[in-house]
Amino acid sequence: MDLLNTLVDKGLRRELPTREEALAVLATSDDDLLEVVAAAGKVRRQWFGRRVKLNYLVNLKSGLCPEDCSYCSQRLGSKAEILKYTWLKPDEASKAAAAGVAGGAKRVCLVASGRGPTDRDVDRVSEAIEAIKERHEGVEVCACLGLLSDGQADRLRSAGADAYNHNLNTSEGTYGDITTTHTYADRVETVQQAQAAGLSACSGLIAGMGESDADLVDVVFSLRELDPDSVPVNFLIPFEGTPLAKEWNLTPQRCLRILAMIRFVCPDVEVRLAGGREVHLRSMQPLALNLVNSIFLGDYLTSEGQAGQADLDMIADAGFEVEGAGTTTLPAHRAQAGGGCGSHDGGCAPCGDAPADAAAEPSGIPAARTDLVAVRRRGAGTDLAPNA
């Protein structure tokens, strides 16, 4: 296919595809899917080999957010029956992080619900970062605390944070349909503040919220312009009790086309498969490893992922390898070591949710799979062991 040859050539040269080419990837047929995956896989292997970086989420503070992000189970007025708790103590955060590190994660992502941190909150997170770094020298720590105020990014950097995550989530044109309590511009500004402070920026999106192909291409092109080191890609988990509970729009094939498009537009960036992986890709998850070079290990913020050992087995069975702590994630031409955070399923990153039947309906509209959405009941904020 000429389109794919062109996109591979551009990806190997780190050249930006045209919007029309990106849209054409999303419009390819299921018959062409393996060709699309193979083509984007060449670009993935050029910049990241067969390495898969593992990241581990620690939800420092869950639920009760005053913001109204429609996709989020922790939002204002959410009826989702998620765990709700206030700040973990530094030793609790460190203990939770240890489970992920023991499972092979080289990055720990510390996430808290809320519009943004107070200065006292930055102190709390700084203490957690210090506790984690004391226990695990060399582990990367990313903070995801919402909108930052002046000076907070610098303080997090001084405390030892390596990265900061704040997702754009969707296109500028549709942002107001998803959230009304803050703006797209607010989000861009926070990512830029993180970059200015020397933090590795992590910013991504949520697909499956009812957006058009043009919206998806818009947000991915905006991300390329913003130039984060990592781009987490979430597939909406339509949690019961949230406004987007009925938005079951994704098939495994659609998810793979979206990931391929992102790899072509952001060829040398850490593309991280985040929330909704198990729910929407299901048995097609291993194919996605040809497109992304990073995943979360274990559970998400407010929902449970597949067993950590199943993640590790999948990586090995598909012929990939877990990226070691001594390996730099990003290609040499991208200055900073590491690569950002991401996030997931509930707080300041995306979500998931409800039970159902099987495959796609004859109409082409995917069936709801609420049976695949399990609210997190273990790990941080509980007395039960974490999944890692």
What value does the CA radius of gyration of the chain take, rounded to a whole number of Å? 19
Our finding on whether 293 is near ligand SF4 (CB under 6 A) is no
CB of 347: closest distance to ligand SF4 in angstroms?
Answer: 4
33: how many CB neighbours lie within 10 A of its CB? 18
> Which one among 28, 55, 59, 113 touches ligand SF4, defined by CB under 6 A?
113
Active site residue 351: no
> Which one among 72, 105, 199, 279 touches ligand SF4, defined by CB under 6 A?
72
> Which one among 338, 340, 347, 381 touches ligand SF4, defined by CB under 6 A?
347
Return d(Cα 72, Cα 75) in angstroms, integer.
5
Q: Which stretch binds ligand SF4 (CB under 6 A): 47-55, 69-77, 95-103, 365-373?
A: 69-77
- Angle of helix 119-135 versus helix 152-159 axis, rounded to 10: 20
Is there a contact between 205 and 231 (Cβ–Cβ < 8 Å)? yes
> Which one among 22, 58, 65, 148 touches ligand SF4, defined by CB under 6 A?
65
Active site residue 142: yes
Return d(Cα 233, Cα 345) in angstroms, integer.
11
Phi, psi of 196 (to 5 degrees): -65, -30
Active site residue 266: no
Our finding on whether 146 is near ligand SF4 (CB under 6 A) is yes
Our finding on whether 302 is near ligand SF4 (CB under 6 A) is no
Our finding on whether 74 is near ligand SF4 (CB under 6 A) is yes
Our finding on whether 275 is near ligand SF4 (CB under 6 A) is no
Q: Give, in degrees to the nearest 5, the angle at Cα 65 between 61 and 69.
A: 120
Is there a contact between 40 and 5 (Cβ–Cβ < 8 Å)? no
Beta bridge partners of 87: none
> How many helices and strands in the chain, by DSSP H and E?
12, 10
Residues comprising the binding site for [4Fe-4S] cluster? 65, 69, 72
Query: Catalytic positions, please?
Result: 65, 69, 72, 109, 142, 202, 272
The contact set with ligand SF4 (CB under 6 A) reads 65, 67, 69, 72, 74-75, 113, 115, 146, 347-348
Residues comprising the binding site for [2Fe-2S] cluster? 109, 142, 202, 272
